[in-house]
Amino acid sequence: MLDILQTILVTLLTLAILVTVHEFGHFWVARRCGVKVLRFSVGFGKPLLSWSDRSGTEYVIAGIPLGGYVKMLDEREGNVPEELLDQTFNRATPRSRIAIAAAGPLANFILAILVYWLIFLNGVSGVAPIVAKVEAGSLAERAGIIAGQEFLSVDGKATPTWEALQLQLLDRIGENGEILVNMRSSDTGLVSEKVVSLTDWMHDVEEPNPVRELGVTLFVPEVIPRIESVMPESPAERAGLRAGDLVLETDGQPINTWLEWVEQVRLKPEQAVSVTVERDNQRVMLTMTPERKLDEGSKAYGYVGVGVAMPSWPEEMQRMTEYGFIGAAVAAVDKTWTMSALTLSSIKKMLMGLLSPKNLSGPITIAKVAGSSVQYGFFAWLTFLALLSVSLAVLNLLPIPVLDGGHIVYALVEWLTGKPVAEQVQVWANQTGLVLVVCLMVFAIYNDVLRL
C-alpha cells in the first residue's frame, strides 16, 4: 500500500513540475508579447485552489492533475471590450503567436538542460560494458564478438558505460544495414572493429533490450547468497534466519549464487522448504515456509523477506566522469539534443512501421517508472524527469493541430502568405488533430494495460 501511495505521489509531483514549467513558458512569453492571460491552470476540472494577481490573471490548481493550460484573451472565445482588443491572442502578430506557442516546449527543453546540468555537476558514474557471454548463433557471434571483450564505441560514438551502449544501439532499432562496433580485448588490449549485420532489427519487439538482442550478456559480479538483512515478522525471521548467514543448500540442492537461492524460494510459495546455512563456521538446518505473493502478471511466487549483501564492482570496470561548471553545461545541452533526436527517430520509425507501436507508453507506465526511479535515488528520478521533459517538448512541437506545433504551422502560413488560415479549415483541422491525439492516448493506455 505504501509503495502504491509513493508511486502516486511521485507521479503527481513529476507531472506537476513538467506541466507548470511548460505552461509558464507560454504564460511568460504571452505577457511579454502584450497578450492578456486570463487563467494559468495546473490540472483540469474543478479548481481546488485559486487566486488572482494585479493584472487580472487567475492562477488555478485543479482537481485532475493530468495536464494544464494557459487561457489567453481571444475574440474567438467570446466578446472582448474594445479597449482590450490589442491584447488578444488572435490579433497578435504571427511572429508573436509563434513565440508564444514555441515557449512551452522551449521551457521543457530548458528544464531538461538544467536537470542534466545538475546531474553532470555531481559526476556521472557507470560500469564498463564487458562481454561475459555470447549466445550461439546470435548476431554478436556472427560478427566475431567474444567473451572478455569490452565495447568501446558503436558507429563511431564512445560507449564507456552500459547506458551509453544501450542508447547507441537503441538508435538503430528497426533498421537494415551494418553496425560498426569497436571492441577491446581484456587480455591483450588490442582493439578490433566488428561488423554487425542488421535486418529489420527489433522492429516487432515490444520491450527492446538491444544488448540482449545482439546475443550478449554483460559481465556482473557474482552475488554470493549471504544474507545481509532480515525483515521483521517475515517468514525468514520466523524460521530463524539471521543477518550474516550464508545459504548452502535448499531442500538438499547446493546453492552457489544469490540468484539460485531466489529462484528456489520463488518456486515454492506456501511450501515448507529446508534450508542449510553456515553460521559461525557451523552448519545450521532450518525450515521455513515462503509467503505467497503475486507478481504484476498475477502469478504466485514465494517470498521470505531477506536482503543480500551486494558486491562491489571491480575498480577497473568502474567509469567515473567528472565535469566542471561549463563542461557540465555543454554535456547537458548535448544530452538534451541526443535524447530529442532519439525521440524523433523513434516516432519516425513507428510511423514507417520499423518500430512496434506497442512501445508507445501512457500514464500507467509513466507512473510505474516514476515510482521505481525514486527507489534508485534522487538522481535516478532527476534523469527520468529530464527524459520526460524532452519527450513532452518534442511531442508538442509535432505539426499536429491542437498541439503547439499545429499553432506554429497556422502562424507560419499566415506570416508567409499574409492571410490567416480560414477559420473553417482550422476548426476541421483541430477536430481531426484532437481525434488523433485521443486515439494515441487510448492506444497508449491499452498498451499499459497489456503490460500489467
**Residues marked as catalytic:** 23
- Backbone φ and ψ of 211, nearest 5°: -60, -45
Contact (Cβ atoms closer than 8 angstroms) between residue 25 and residue 99: no
Which 3 state secondary structure label does DSSP give 235? Answer: helix
In one-letter notation, the amino acid at residue 144 is G
Which residues touch 425 (CB under 8 Å, ≥6 apart)?
none
Q: What is each CA distance from 164 to 108, 167, 183, 377, in whole angstroms?
A: 23, 5, 15, 20
CB 327 within 8 A of CB 381: no
Could you tell me which residues are beta bridge partners of residue 303? Answer: 291
Helix/strand/coil (H/E/C) assignment for every residue in 72-137: ECCHHHCCCCHHHHHHCCCCCCHHHHHHHHHHHHHHHHHHHHHHHHHHHHCCEEEECCEEEEECCC
Let me know: does 307 contact 229? Beta carbons within 8 Å. Answer: yes
| Phi, psi dihedrals of residue 293, rounded to the nearest 5° | -130, 165
